[in-house]
Amino acid sequence: MVKHNNVVPNGHFRKHWQNYVETWFNQLILMLFILCPARQKNAVKIFPRPTAGPLRPHCLHANVQRLKTYKAKLVVFPRRARKFKAGDSTPEELANATQVQGTYLPIVREKPAVELVEVTDEMKSFNAYAKLRVERMNKRHMGARMKKAAEAEKEDE
pLDDT of residue 82: 77
Of the candidates 107, 99, 71, the one whose C-alpha atom is nearest the C-alpha of residue 87 is 71
Contacts 24+ apart (CB under 8 A), 128-134: none
**pTM value?**
0.34
pLDDT of residue 49: 66
- Pairwise CA distance, residues 55 & 63, whole Å: 8
- Pairwise CA distance, residues 58 & 67, whole Å: 12
pLDDT of residue 55: 53
Q: At what angle do helices 128-140 and 142-156 cross, to 10 degrees?
A: 50
Distance of CA 98 to the CA centre of its chain: 32
How would you write the pLDDT of the chain (157 residues) with one tens digit per residue?
Answer: 667 778 777 777 778 888 888 888 888 887 787 777 877 787 778 776 655 555 555 567 777 888 888 888 888 888 777 777 787 878 888 888 887 777 777 777 778 888 999 999 999 999 999 999 999 999 999 999 999 999 999 999 8
